[in-house]
Every structure is written in structure tokens, then in C-alpha cells.
Amino acid sequence: MSRNADNWLLRVTNLTKIYGEPNKNTVSLTGPEFNSNICPETDSIVACADISFDLYPGEVLGIVGESGSGKSTVVKLLYFDMEKTGGAAWLKPYADGSIDMLSESNQKKRFIRNNLMGMVYQNPRDGLNFNFTSGGNIAEKLIMAGNYHVGEIRGRASDLLNKTEVPVLRMDDRPANFSGGMQQRVQISKAIANNPPLLFLDEVTTGLDVSVQAKVLDLIRELQQDLGIAMIVVSHDLSVIRMLTDRTIVMKNGRIVESGLTDQILQDPQHEYSQLLVSSLL
């Protein structure tokens, strides 16, 4: 995919999320230089601030950082799970990228979420409704995008489960009865049900055992190559980042401290925190 200034898929500028009541110094008194994201004047907490990046079609972007660095906050803001404090984001397939999607009404946001995005959470309970069957969970996404044909819904659901290697026989079982790896696969099926151009993966392999981790990562890589979905992969695990991503953003205390090609960051980290991160890779 050729990259130039105009064919971005997702453009994010100055994305900020602050809890509490900030004052005008809050942003300038927090960050990696102060090794804190708590404002000394107001005690408000800066989850992330001034996050700007572009994502290109079919590209996989990694966000890495320690816990509390704000990496999950960034994807949750972009998936409308949280309300932003400041900043804007444009998505090319929505109104040709002319409208800031973070300022839209809830109804419009839901349309974007259901038709143009997918999200895989660390905990399958966040992404799946455990009272519905796995087929029903996938159906929810399809129904929200306007498909009201049971035969088609079931056809699409079994295709997706096939693709993610969940036995189709278990389509009418509840994900509560599945293993963790299978739940994660169902969640991935649901997330890609409407062929979204953009997929968010939030710590998808954390909590899975190593062999299952490898399988889930394989699956994600396959899907990426087959469908050409652009992805934002959030992880604290550098091996996941190395395996999946083209480009990486390193975050600390709610700020971007370094960004560049994944290989470059892993081979030759510039910022001292990135160096620490890479050197602690076992």
C-alpha cells in the first residue's frame, strides 16, 4: 500500500483524556520528564495527552508501554468506549474523513463502531455477551449493521467461526462454556464480522498460555494478510509487537516518547525508556 500524506485511513490529532479538573498547567506539568501523570497543582490524572498519529490502510500499528502509560485509553477513546477530553480523529471511510468522529452524536458513533471498526478486548467478557450464544454474539454485530436475515446471519457466522478455527458445531453454545483461547477467537470473529477497515486489539494475548498465544497471533496475522485490515495493536509484550506490527509508538506517562518502524525501535531505541523496555526483553 503506497503511503502519502493523503491516503491515511485514520488521523488522530492531540487526543487527550484527563480525569478530574485540570487547569492550564496540567498538561505541561505532567509527562515522562516529570515521571508522573498526576498534576501537582490539581491532582487531576492525565491518562493520555497530545497523542497524534496517522494510520494507513492495511497497516499494523503497535502501541507499547508499561501499565498505566495510557495505551489502552487511546484505543478506548477511538472506539468510543470513553469520552475524550480534547483532540480529534478522522476516519477516511466515514464522510470521506471530513468530520471529526469523536464529536459526533451517539447514534452516529454507533454506526461507525458497527460498520467501520472492530475491537478485541483483553477480557472476552468486555467484548462478548455471555448470555448469548457465540452465533448470537456475531449476529448482534451483523444485526446492528442492518442484516435481518437469519439464514444469512448464520451463514456468515459459520464462515467466520471456520476462519477463526472455532468448531462450527459449537456456534449455538455460549462462550461461557469455551476455553479462553476459543473465547478470544469468537471475539475476533465478532470484531471482523462486518469486514471493517480498522481493527483494535487491546492486549489480546495477555492471560493466554503460550501455545494458545501463538495460535491467536497466527490467526491475527493470517486475517491481516487475507483481508488487509488496518490494525492498532496495544500490548506491553514486545514479542507480540515484533511479530505483528510494521510501525510502533512507545508511550510513557500518557505521552508518545518515540515512534518509528518496529524493527528500528527494537534494534536501535533512542529514548531512554524505549532502551529500558528493549533491554528488559528476555
Partner 1 sequence: MVENIKYANKYNFAFIDEATKKEIRRKLLKAVAIPGYQVPYSSPEMPIARGWGTGGLHVTLAIIGRKDVFKIIDQGSDASVNACNLREFVHQMTNCQTTYDTAEATLIQTRHRITEEELTEDQIFVYQVPQPEPLRSVERYEYRTRQMHGEADYAKMWVSLYESYVRSGDIMLGAGYPVKVNKRYIMAPSPIPRWDVPNLNQSKALHLFGAGREKRLYAVPPYTTVEALEFEDVKFHTEDFKGTECYKTGYKKAFLDELYFDDGSKHFIINDSNFLDKLIEKASPKQHENKYINQLES
Residues that bind partner 1 (CB under 8 A): 106-107, 110, 129, 132-133, 135-137, 139-140, 143-144, 148-151, 153-154, 172
Which residue, among 118, 126, 267, has the nearest Cα to 195 in the 3D structure? 118
Nearer to partner 1, 193 or 251 (CB): 193
Give least dist CB 281 to partner 1, A: 42
Give least dist CB 133 to partner 1, A: 6
- Which residues lie below 8 Å from residue 64, measured CB to CB, with a gap of 6+? 71, 234, 235, 236, 238, 241, 248, 249, 250, 251, 277
Give least dist CB 86 to partner 1, A: 25
Give least dist CB 82 to partner 1, A: 16
Residue that is written with C-alpha cell 491516503 in the block: 7
CA distance 209 to 212: 6
**Contact indicator for 197, 9 with CB cutoff of 8 Å:** yes
Q: Which helix (H) or strand (E) holds 231?
A: strand 230-235
Give least dist CB 144 to partner 1, A: 4
Nearer to partner 1, 129 or 275 (CB): 129
Nearer to partner 1, 110 or 221 (CB): 110
- Which residues lie below 8 Å from residue 100, measured CB to CB, with a gap of 6+? 88, 89, 90
Nearer to partner 1, 172 or 222 (CB): 172
Give least dist CB 137 to partner 1, A: 8
CA distance 225 to 152: 25
Nearer to partner 1, 54 or 159 (CB): 159
C-alpha 28: how far from chain center: 27
CA distance 35 to 32: 4
Nearer to partner 1, 5 or 150 (CB): 150
